[in-house]
A and B are shown apart, each in its own frame.
Chain A
Amino acid sequence: MKPAPFEYVRPDSLEETCALLAADDDARIIAGGQTLVPMLAMRLARPTRLVDILRLRELNGIREDGGAIVIGAATRQADAEGHSLVAARLPLLAKVLPWVGHPPTRNRGTVGGSIAHADPSAEIPLVSVTLGAEIVLRSEAGVEAMSADEFFIGPMVTAIPMGACLTEVRLPVWTAKRVGVGFHEISARRSDFAFVSAAAQVALDTAGTCTQCAIGVGGAGDRPVRFDGASAALVGTKLSNKDIEDAVNMDIGQLETMSDLHASADYRRRVAAVLACRAVGDARDSALGLSS
């Protein structure tokens, strides 16, 4: 369990980082290292050089900007978890962060690292897809942004081009007064990789009618997906349990699910439907002030 030899560099700026990445195709970025180091230890990854971006100021911090909360890629998950802007403006992210790994891994692991690693069952990518986040990349060629939908391609496969560094994620803020969120996942042990997870965020008007809805499912297939059909069908309803079930059932047929030694594809599909319904139900109840 020892990594193969590599060179280690810690650049002082993003510009220098991009130059280092451009100069060596086999260089890789390291930040918190909570997913990369196990891959190095098992020699699933053998980079020539590690470029450490964890301490780059430009990649650290959380700010509000034009209707979005912008989280620097090297911001630690533990810092995001305790951040007032996340608590106030991104309730769905605040809800899932305690489910990301364990407290010690969140102390080192970064928000950008979880996104760049693109584990299909990871919670931060699920929230990014559910809320329609924008992921910003920088390379020697310049700055490029893409939607989370375009970004995640498959298990540990993303659309990050060679030589690019993920710099920030922009998560849209819902401005409605009554917003609620829900999240559920099934795993062998708490905080282990989820077999299936589901996240939902809804907004209600004063009469309790749904005005905005987003539902996402993770862990079921090769990347997190959003249920746009179900979300659209739920807008304008009172989100009764029957409404939710009917809407989720519209989308569940198209969900691509996988089988592995933990769970069959069939099981994943059934559980995805149940968890999605529960997540929307919880989101409704929290928007109504019935539960947290």
Chain B
Amino acid sequence: MKVELTVNGESRLTEVEPRKSLLDCLRDNFNLNGAHAGCEHGVCGACTVLVDGQPVRSCLMFAVQADGYAITTIEGLTPAPGELSVIQDAFCETHGMQCGYCTPAMVLTAHALLQRNAAPTREEIVESISGNICRCTGYGQIVEAIALAADRLSRANAPQGGAVR
């Protein structure tokens, strides 16, 4: 079947079998390998992408179902080639990644959270990544990274001047 997907702001036409997951389509057809295949049945969250800004498991969605939505992968979060987003930077700084397998999904999930909630509590951060498994169990640093990114983003948006910080 032919399907036209909007991925990272770009419209792309491709040919897929109906049984091909959005995950496999992103990886095989578009070479967007940042979405990782973990369990492939919706448990681990490693394949998370944003669909209209909301985190979704791309292994539980078929590519033929994904037309008409704005799909964002980790490749679409960076401001420019070779640069990192504020959230990605925070993950590096706090050692929020170990083997890196769950990282793109964690970063995308954090991105969606911070889009709707600029100052999340620790509980809200934990709840938002509750569907993402890190087998290195580095959750402490991941939570720390998201809190750091939230703090930096809110400072970046605050008016410049003596009152802040």
Whether B96 sits at the interface, judged by CB under 8 Å, is: no
Residues of A within 8 A of B130 (CB): 102-103, 190-191
Beta-carbon nearest neighbor of A189 in chain B: B130
- B contacts, CB < 8 Å to A: 1, 17-19, 21, 39-43, 45, 48, 51, 54-57, 59-62, 64-65, 109, 127-128, 130-131
Instruction: Indicate if the CB atoms of A37 and B64 lie closer than 8 Å.
Output: no
Is the C-beta of A7 less than 8 angstroms from some C-beta in chain B?
Answer: yes
Residue of A nearest to B126 (CB): A190
Contact yes or no, B51 A5, CB < 8 A: no
Smallest CB–CB gap between A3 and chain B, Å? 5
Q: Which residue of A lies closest to B128 (CB)?
A: A103
Q: Which of A104-112, A130-138, A178-186, A202-210 contacts B (4 or more CB under 8 A)?
A: A104-112
What distance in Å separates the Cβ of B55 from its nearest Cβ neighbour in chain A?
4
B120 to chain A, nearest CB (A): 12
Query: Whose C-beta in chain A lies nearest to the C-beta of B19?
Result: A3
Check if A34 sits within 8 Å of B55, measured CB to CB. Answer: no
Query: Is A52 part of the contact surface with B, judged by Cβ < 8 Å?
Result: yes
Question: What distance in Å separates the Cβ of A62 from its nearest Cβ neighbour in chain B?
Answer: 18
Q: A37-B61, A101-B131, A103-B55 given; name 12 further pairs at CB < 8 Å.
A: A5-B17, A8-B18, A33-B62, A33-B65, A37-B60, A41-B59, A42-B41, A104-B55, A104-B109, A108-B61, A190-B130, A191-B130
Asked if B65 and A105 sit within 8 Å, CB to CB, the answer is no
- Which chain A residues lie closer than 8 Å to B109 at the CB level? 104
User: Contact between A107 and B62 (Cβ–Cβ < 8 Å)?
Assistant: no
Residues of chain B contacted by A54 (CB below 8 angstroms): 65
| 8 A-B pairs with the lowest CB-CB distances in the bound complex, closest first | A102-B131, A1-B40, A8-B18, A38-B41, A104-B55, A37-B60, A107-B54, A3-B19
Given B19, B40, B42, B127, which contacts A105 in the complex, CB threshold below 8 Å?
B42
A residues in contact with B62, CB < 8 Å: 8, 33, 37, 50
Q: Are A107 and B56 in contact (CB under 8 A)?
A: yes
How far is it, in angstroms, between the C-alpha of A6 and the C-alpha of B19 when the chains are bound?
A: 6
Closest to A108 in B: B56
Contact of A41 among B41, B55, B127 (CB under 8 A): B41
Docked pose: A246 CA to B41 CA in angstroms: 43
Chain A residues, Cβ within 8 Å of B42: 34, 37-38, 105
* A residues in contact with B60, CB < 8 Å: 33-34, 37-38, 105, 108
Bound-state CA distance A40–B17 (Å) is 15
Shortest distance from the beta carbon of A262 to any chain B beta carbon, whole Å: 16
Chain B residues closer than 8 Å to A191, beta-carbon distance: 130-131
Separation of A7 and B19 alpha carbons in the complex (Å)? 8
From B19, B21, B61, B128, name the one whose CB has the most chain A CB atoms within 10 angstroms. B19
Bound form: Cα–Cα A10–B68 in Å = 13
Contact with B along A22-45 (1 / 0, CB 8 A): 000000001001100110111000
For the complex formed, measure the closest distance between the CB of A151 and the CB atoms of chain B, giving whole angstroms: 25
Q: Which residues from chain B contact A34 at a C-beta distance below 8 Å?
A: 42, 57, 60
A1–B39 CB distance below 8 A: yes
Q: Give the one of A41, A101, A191 with max B CB within 10 A.
A: A41
B18 touches which one: A1, A7, A102, A107 (CB < 8 A)?
Answer: A7
